[in-house]
Homo-oligomer: A and B are copies of this chain.
Amino acid sequence: MSSQHITPRQFQDFSDHRDPVAAAPRLAGLRKRLKALGVDGFIIPRADEHQNEYVPACEERLAWLTGFAGSAGTAIVLSDKAAIFVDGRYTLQVVDDVDISLFAPQKLAEISPEAWLSAHLTEGARFGYDPWLHTSGQVKRLEAAVKKAKAQLVALTPNPLDALWKDRPAAPAGMMVPQPARLAGLSVPQKLKIIRAGLPDATSLIISDPHNLCWAFNLRGADVAHTPLALAYAHIPPTGRPTLFCEAAKVSPALTRALHGLVDIAPPSALPALLQQAGEQEAALRFDSATAAEALVSAFQGAGGKADVGQDPVTLLKATKTQAELAGMRRAHRRDGVAMVHFLCWFDKAVRSGSLTEIDAARALEASRRKTGRLRDISFPTISAAGPHAAIPHYRVSEASNLTITPGLFLIDSGAQYQDGTTDITRTIAVGRPTPAMRDCFTRVLQGHIAIASAVFPAGTSGAQIDALARLQLWRKGLDFDHGTGHGVGAYLSVHEGPQRISKMGHVALEAGMILSNEPGYYRAGEFGIRIENLVVVKKVSIKNAERPMLGFETLSFAPIDLRAISPALLARDEIDWLNNYHAMVRKKLLPLVDKNAKTWLLAATAPLLD
């Protein structure tokens, strides 16, 4: 563990931040302030200046205003009504978190914030947004929606909410440290070369995505929970030294040494000046359409520049891992597998007491990972979900919600950040004897997991084309799940990374070296939930007499899948073979590394399932 990192006793926080009583006065305060500013409405996305999924505490405006604690959502406040928009993962949670008499919950699958705005804004109204919290593409869509209602869109800086937020946390000042080239697999000069090759001639790049910044400069930060991000910007000119825009105090001596002579460091306040100057010179400047704030793009355009808003080439480069990153991910997953086995073995015994709670389980799993001596953080708040809580795909346990784990199914979705890799794994555990319905559904989810794990497909195939494989056995019974089958994962970076995904929306071709989750599920609201998740890496597959270059997956995660939750009669021969081979591999990788108690447990948990 680097000495620059201050390690809390527990990464996960179980306190209940929600304060529904606070929402009414805060909403009233915001409306008053908007009125004073002469605007009739305001949009509050869950976003920071970099469009991060995990944002620093000082950027949790949506949670402060509405109480909604999910990782994605948007509120719109008008003078006489307000709404909150969430996706399928959060339709149950939003009702719990938010005072729905103040914010009418809306499903994103049914209505977009833009469509709602067009329908509810009154003619001639002035509608505000914070240009640091929206990309220029998002602003264009807002503009069209507002225009449709014959209203006017107004940029508001500073954000009008900030003045009301009396105890707003300070901006993060996490230390930035080098990520060794032996783990990254490519040096900074090598990375600059391939980044520049992905840009049009004579075009500079503004890096606004902190993940891309960390990757490009082989560094990691500590500005947000669970992801080693440095919230900063960079400018990469076509030739010569790039500039990193961040407070000098955040740059560790080791990073200063690592970047010496390669990269200039400048304060964040120098970025607007650079954009201004580049705009005046009409320089060719690429902004990342996915993360560059409208405020950046308009600073450049306001000075006369014509922005090239497109893809940051780092996004795709980062997605296909280097051999060193893959080796690190394999080590990290083996280490994490040991922690999982110790936890699962402990759980089976501890749950028999009848008093084990969701928080107990989450604490024990974090402790087990801590025992590796290498844990830098958990990669997201552990979803420790008993009974009906497991039917909420992104359930977050708090002291207030904490359930005792009773017979049925228990779902635990968790991950770790090690310096050599990021993990993300879900197991659904039989507590006592699950019902036949639970076992039937568990087996169908497992069949979906196996179908993805063993899929073989031609190069050029997208995640959208194979997503259905994870659903076929559920579909046969008229069942489904409302999330994608898999998301991309970074290497000691974010546990959610694009552009690769296995989902009907995943139209990017899968490429060798991309890491994804394989996590089909099934959720019966109010009763139980199931998810079986391993990480996989896309690999080349060699087949005799193949006419096309073919790809498939190597499974990275190692931990037993609960045999007690399976209905073996549903499984086909090749599915049983996959499961037995997987368990043989789990045993081979982990048996030498687990403690004595766990050895007996692991042997039983990975015993072959007979046909």
Given A465-B468, A469-B468, also A476-B456 (CB < 8 A)? yes
Q: Provide the residues of chain B in CB contact with A455, threshold 8 Å.
A: 472, 475
Minimum CB–CB distance for A76 against chain B, Å: 25
Minimum CB–CB distance for A337 against chain B, Å: 29
Interface size range of chain A in the complex: 20 to 34
Q: Is the CB of A548 within 8 A of B462?
A: no
Cα-based distance from A468 to B468 in the complex (angstroms): 8
Minimum CB–CB distance for A410 against chain B, Å: 22
A478 within 8 A of B: yes
Minimum CB–CB distance for A108 against chain B, Å: 15
Of the candidates B464, B468, B480, which one forms a contact with A548 in the assembled complex, judged by CB atoms under 8 Å apart? Answer: B480
Of the candidates B468, B469, B550, which one forms a contact with A457 in the assembled complex, judged by CB atoms under 8 Å apart? Answer: B468
A166 within 8 A of B: no
Minimum CB–CB distance for A448 against chain B, Å: 14
Q: How many copies does the complex hold?
A: 2
Q: Is the CB of A550 within 8 A of B504?
A: no
A597 within 8 A of B: no
Q: Is the CB of B477 within 8 A of A545?
A: yes
A479 within 8 A of B: yes
A458 within 8 A of B: yes
A543 within 8 A of B: yes
Cα-based distance from A469 to B465 in the complex (angstroms): 9
Q: Provide the residues of chain B in CB contact with A548, threshold 8 Å.
A: 478-480
Cα-based distance from A472 to B451 in the complex (angstroms): 10
Quick one: which of A379-400 are within 8 Å of B by CB?
Answer: none
Nearest chain B residue, comparing its CB with the CB of A462:
B504
Q: CB-CB contacts of A529-549 with B at 8 A, as 1s and 0s?
A: 000000000000001111110
Nearest chain B residue, comparing its CB with the CB of A109:
B460
Minimum CB–CB distance for A35 against chain B, Å: 34
A40 within 8 A of B: no
Minimum CB–CB distance for A280 against chain B, Å: 25
Nearest chain B residue, comparing its CB with the CB of A522:
B547
Cα-based distance from A543 to B477 in the complex (angstroms): 6
Q: Provide the residues of chain B in CB contact with A472, threshold 8 Å.
A: 455, 469
Q: Provide the residues of chain B in CB contact with A99, threshold 8 Å.
A: none
Cα-based distance from A507 to B132 in the complex (angstroms): 34
Of the candidates B466, B477, B544, B545, which one forms a contact with A468 in the assembled complex, judged by CB atoms under 8 Å apart? Answer: B466
Q: Provide the residues of chain B in CB contact with A49, threshold 8 Å.
A: none
A130 within 8 A of B: no
A467 within 8 A of B: yes
Q: CB-CB contacts of A549-578 with B at 8 A, as 1s and 0s?
A: 010000000000000000000001000000
Given A456-B475, A545-B477, also A465-B462 (CB < 8 A)? no
Nearest chain B residue, comparing its CB with the CB of A574:
B572
Minimum CB–CB distance for A407 against chain B, Å: 22
Minimum CB–CB distance for A547 against chain B, Å: 6
Cα-based distance from A214 to B468 in the complex (angstroms): 37
Q: Which of A461, A476, A478 counts the most chain B CB atoms within 10 A?
A: A478
Given A465-B468, A480-B548, A548-B480, also A475-B458 (CB < 8 A)? yes
Cα-based distance from A598 to B458 in the complex (angstroms): 42
Q: Provide the residues of chain B in CB contact with A457, threshold 8 Å.
A: 468, 475
28 CB contacts below 8 A, A to B, read A455-B472, A456-B475, A456-B478, A457-B475, A458-B475, A458-B478, A458-B480, A461-B468, A462-B504, A464-B465, A465-B467, A465-B468, A465-B504, A466-B468, A468-B468, A468-B469, A476-B543, A477-B543, A477-B545, A477-B546, A478-B544, A478-B546, A478-B550, A479-B546, A479-B547, A479-B548, A480-B547, A480-B548
